[in-house]
Structure 1
Amino acid sequence: MNELAKVAADSVGAAQCVDIRKFADGMFNKAFLMLMDDGQEVVAKVPNPNAGRAHYTTASEVATMDFARRVLDTPAPRVYAWNSNAQSHSVRAEYIIMEKAQGIQKRWLSISFSHYGGLYYAKDMKSSPVSHYVQDGVVIKKSEFALGPATGRDWHDAGRADLDIRRGPWSSLSQYLRSIGERETKATQILDPPKQIALFCGLKLYQPDRKEKLTALGQYQKIVDAILPGNKTIRGPYLWHDDLHDDNIFVDPNNPGKITAIIDWQSCHVSPLFNHNADPAFLDWDGLEPENLDLTPKPDLSRLSSEEKSAALRDYAHVNVFIAWRKLMQAKNPDLFEVTEFQKTASYGLLFLAHRMFEYGEAHFQSLLVDLKDTWPTLTAITGQSEGNYGRTVADKGFIDHERYDACKAALEEMKEQLIEQLAETEEERAEYERYWPFD
């Protein structure tokens, strides 16, 4: 830590760091606010081992932030110093020293790329870069930026980082998507099955099946080119920030309508526009997709309790803000709106599930494949009870406050006992459900 503080001080021309404060832990990084003797403040960020591939994740994040700030005109933090080779310096860890945030999508669509993959500085690529980007219709070939290996989480998680596979860049969408299928096939063939965290498994429930996964992936390779969207723009390679929640967006306190910084560009990479999140997370809508863009009428509150009224009004506001956002997108950014329409289709569901087939999805994939046959000519109970009983015990991404940890753990244990009581008929079955329970 002392060496990291020295690097931070040197990066902004300060004599020394006089105070260090740790930010709340994230899933993939540790971050520290460092105060210098001359009053300057910087943020030091150190990736956790699960953040991604050594060197590539940090190198790509720094280049992506610089590209976003200087080329996309997006207020990403300025980087003062960084190093992606942990063994080459006294800190002995990869790090990024960046400015503290004080406090567009149309612009992001103005730039597309020749290849799919991770964004880097050209000097950090071992081989001669051949990629380029297109800005407002102008091809930019002589650039300090280049496309290299993909840095998305799906290229690293559950042991995938160690696979000997093609990681990009790819010059065509077909190459990119087929490489995903090859990656999941190889992971399924040679890696130990990962612990299930998205699904509860057991004898009478879903159980991962290696043979079924490989069958589904074989089917994916046969149909992938046929299920792509017809809109050429949404098939194109674009850089996007897919995690625009409140903690990643900073605004001017004196002018809340002005965004001063967008942070957390780690693992952002250039991929098909239809793979990106068109709806920013800060909209806070996790309900069903609206059937149309008509605003929802105000609910009848006459027979509701005060608590029920508050919940109904909150849902009413959230869904209508979401619909208004979609209407604005349709009018101002029709290609992005087309992404949301494609993401409702079985074709997109098949493409989406293929990205994580090693972990889960083969049963749902087969189901969507059956549904797809009806539209082929046009192509180019327990979980509900649990949420009712326990509510949103765990927040998004599994984060909980320290003071709620014991209560949440107890609630999950109670839920586990109820589920096993309903499902297990023998001691053998009970032991099997215990083995698959994801939260111990």
Structure 2
Amino acid sequence: MCRLLTSSSVREQQSKALYSNSMEHLDPSSASYPFAYTTGRWLNQDELQRQSRSLKFNFSLLCETVAKIYPGASKVDSYEKKEGAYNRVFIFTLDNGKKVVAKVPTSVAGPPRLTTNSEVATMAYLRSKSSLPIPETLLWNDDPSNPVGIEYIVQEHADGVNLHEHWPKMDIVQHMQCTKELSLQIREMASLDFPAYGSLYFADAPIEEKLKIPFGNGFCIGPYCSPLFWNCCAGESDIYKRLNTNRGPWRDLKEYSAGLIDTALSRLPKEQPADDRLPFRGAIQEHSDLIDACRKSMNILIEDERVQTAATPALIHPDYNKRNIYVSPDDPTKVTGLIDWQLASIEPAFIYVHGTPDFASLADQDPAEVDEPEKAQSEDERRLQKDLSICHQTYDVIMKGKILKMRAATRLDPTFFRLFHYCFTTWRDGAPAIRQELLDLRSLWSELGLPGSCPYDPDEEELHRHAKQYEDFETRQKLKTWLTMQLNSGSDGWVPDEIWDAAQEANRAAYAEWMESAKELGEAEGMTPEKADRLWPFDAR
């Protein structure tokens, strides 16, 4: 569906290249080439990741379509390409000087049509019900068979400067005041009420009528469009072959919980992979049993009045971090734009207290330094720690004291909610990850005031197996955390294109050192060269 909207209605990385010549001559080797992912590379599954983000569409026609939006414009003079984990964004400069943004999804963004429809509907709803500074959608099309050949969203260019880029130029007081303003905007998001959990769509979205819950004037709540519910992430469609028919919407916590469990079961392969590199993955039946233990435990948790109070439906920005926030260059405590609402969904409020936005996060600690004596900090380091602490406390006070929907969840032990976060990614993460969550819940069952005994009651054989698996799991997690800090990579191995060669070299050197350490440990420590190789988190060698 194509619509023109009137005024009534990561990880983003930027390609530095700017193409300003004829649209007829697009250079495939250029960083601004529209059809290929050029911003970064992956130390793990690089070819698959880049292929998943390769696009085919009529770029010239997209340019023509954009140019027709504004009176007085006849063509695109230049464009700048930006790339995120799921989308490609083009910032077009028209021949009348106006800037406009066009966003197109890649195959990993989510289900065709639904993802685009939901993002536009979410922004339209929030613009109509709040004062949040969301750029206006000018034109959109959720039908990939349109003449351009791809779904697209055309929006106003956000006012102001990007907070991620401007943050280092701000002082401690500005950081605190900006954090306060951003935290209060979460309060405005949370003030909106919803009758169910799911994704927001326009009422005429291409969804079965039985999967629509009418909501407001021209909107409905429908199935979740997160890639996890549709197996859209790179390579997932080749792994998970089971059909998932329970993606929402869900009217209450019981339905929500059942939907997560059904999704978890659908994300198990039908056959045990013969070439699985993850040594602690676990057997399919093992995962099925653990998911069943999650189901039984969650069925008790959702009957707890405290959990129900913390589960009020809420819609909060799904990636509320500095890259998606714009502020005034003259007064950076004034927020001027909130972008990238893709994958926004209506969740139990407790889902949103799991993480902290990067503008309020404390510094990560290098795992290699955990057991080292505390080092004396320089003046700059002390100033940074104070800055981070003030922002974190500001955010925490507002979340706990001024946002009613979040208050109940922030005051409960996180153990109440962890199964809801991780029960449907057991195969991806490995059996010991979810088993440890169950064991933690079991150990705190009485202390948390839960009735009876925990349904999960492993025997000695399972506990013995878990001890070995979990040791390997922790080893790999520490390796990955250390590598991401040393290589300046994402947890999936993503690195900016400009440091790709250096990152590869550093990764190979670290791998060689790791394998040498494994040889020194020997089988007496339970480490063989084969096992050490399989624990290495990246396939680039």
The TM tier, using the shorter chain, reads 0.7 to 0.9
Secondary structure class of the residue paired with 1:73 = coil
Secondary structure class of the residue paired with 2:84 = coil
Describe how 1:350-389 pairs up with structure 2 within 5 A: 350-377=419-446, 378-379=449-450
Deviation track 1:277-325 (CA, whole Å, cap 9, x = no partner) reads 563222242549xxxxxxxxxxxx9x847xx443343234313421232
TM score, norm. by length of structure 2: 0.68
2:259 aligned partner: 179
Residues 144 and 387 from structure 1, CA distance in 2 versus in 1: closer, same or farther, beyond 3 angstroms? closer
What 5-or-longer segments of structure 1 have no aligned partner?
133-140, 289-300
Q: Distance in 2 between matches of 1:153 and 1:164?
A: 13
2:299 aligned partner: 225
Q: Is it true that 1:155 corresponds to 2:229 in the alignment?
A: yes
Deviation track 1:65-112 (CA, whole Å, cap 9, x = no partner) reads 11122113321121111111111x221011111110011111112212
Contact 1:28 1:51 in 2 (8 A): yes
Q: Distance in 1 between matches of 2:271 and 2:220?
A: 31
Q: Distance in 2 between matches of 1:223 and 1:102?
A: 47
Contact 1:34 1:41 in 2 (8 A): yes
2:250 aligned partner: 170
Q: Distance in 2 between matches of 1:82 and 1:390?
A: 37
2:154 aligned partner: 97
Write the letter of the residue equivalent to 1:258.
K
1:24 aligned partner: 82
Percent sequence identity is 24
Write the letter of the residue equivalent to 1:114.
P
Write the letter of the residue equivalent to 2:487.
T
Write the letter of the residue equivalent to 2:87.
N
Residues 36 and 269 from structure 1, CA distance in 2 versus in 1: closer, same or farther, beyond 3 angstroms? same
Once the 2 structures are TM-superposed, how far is the Cα of residue 153 of structure 1 from its aligned partner? 3.2
Question: Residue 270 of structure 1: which of 346, 362, 386 is its match?
Answer: 346
Q: Distance in 1 between matches of 2:362 and 2:514?
A: 28
Residues 438 and 385 from structure 1, CA distance in 2 versus in 1: closer, same or farther, beyond 3 angstroms? closer
Once the 2 structures are TM-superposed, how far is the Cα of residue 417 of structure 1 from its aligned partner? 2.2
Deviation track 1:392-417 (CA, whole Å, cap 9, x = no partner) reads 42245654333222222222222222
Mean Cα deviation higher: 231-240 or 122-131? 122-131
Deviation track 1:249-270 (CA, whole Å, cap 9, x = no partner) reads 0112223222111001111111
Q: How many residues align?
A: 408
Q: Distance in 1 between matches of 2:404 and 2:251?
A: 25
Residues 312 and 25 from structure 1, CA distance in 2 versus in 1: closer, same or farther, beyond 3 angstroms? same
1:242 aligned partner: 318
Question: Residue 143 of structure 1: which of 187, 207, 217 is its match?
Answer: 217
Question: Residue 254 of structure 1: which of 330, 337, 340 is its match?
Answer: 330
1:291 aligned partner: none
1:325 aligned partner: 395
Q: Distance in 1 between matches of 2:363 and 2:273?
A: 29
Write the letter of the residue equivalent to 2:291.
L
Once the 2 structures are TM-superposed, how far is the Cα of residue 53 of structure 1 from its aligned partner? 0.8
Residues 238 and 4 from structure 1, CA distance in 2 versus in 1: closer, same or farther, beyond 3 angstroms? same
Secondary structure class of the residue paired with 1:143 = coil
Q: Distance in 1 between matches of 2:480 and 2:106?
A: 33
Q: Distance in 2 between matches of 1:238 and 1:390?
A: 32
Once the 2 structures are TM-superposed, how far is the Cα of residue 130 of structure 1 from its aligned partner? 5.5
Secondary structure class of the residue paired with 1:116 = coil
Contact 1:75 1:260 in 2 (8 A): yes
Q: Distance in 2 between matches of 1:101 and 1:216?
A: 46
Q: Distance in 2 between matches of 1:101 and 1:194?
A: 49
Contact 1:155 1:161 in 2 (8 A): no
Structure of higher RCO (CA pairs closer than 8 Å, 6+ residues apart): 2
1:59 aligned partner: 117
Contact 2:86 2:108 in 1 (8 A): yes
2:500 aligned partner: 405
Mean Cα deviation higher: 159-168 or 23-32? 159-168
Deviation track 1:149-204 (CA, whole Å, cap 9, x = no partner) reads 101232133236983422221112211221111111122043876999xxx944xx
1:82 aligned partner: 140
Aligned residues: CA RMSD: 3.1
Once the 2 structures are TM-superposed, how far is the Cα of residue 126 of structure 1 from its aligned partner? 4.0
What 5-or-longer segments of structure 2 have no aligned partner?
1-58, 161-184, 366-373, 452-473
Contact 1:113 1:131 in 2 (8 A): no
Residues 163 and 432 from structure 1, CA distance in 2 versus in 1: closer, same or farther, beyond 3 angstroms? farther
Contact 1:248 1:264 in 2 (8 A): yes
Q: Distance in 1 between matches of 2:536 and 2:501?
A: 18
Residues 58 and 14 from structure 1, CA distance in 2 versus in 1: closer, same or farther, beyond 3 angstroms? farther
Residues 430 and 175 from structure 1, CA distance in 2 versus in 1: closer, same or farther, beyond 3 angstroms? same
Q: Distance in 2 between matches of 1:286 and 1:212?
A: 36
2:173 aligned partner: none
Mean Cα deviation higher: 372-381 or 16-25? 372-381
Q: Distance in 1 between matches of 2:530 and 2:515?
A: 9
TM score, norm. by length of structure 1: 0.82
Q: Distance in 1 between matches of 2:222 and 2:345?
A: 10
Q: Distance in 1 between matches of 2:381 and 2:489?
A: 17
Once the 2 structures are TM-superposed, how far is the Cα of residue 435 of structure 1 from its aligned partner? 5.5
Contact 2:78 2:94 in 1 (8 A): no
Contact 1:242 1:280 in 2 (8 A): no
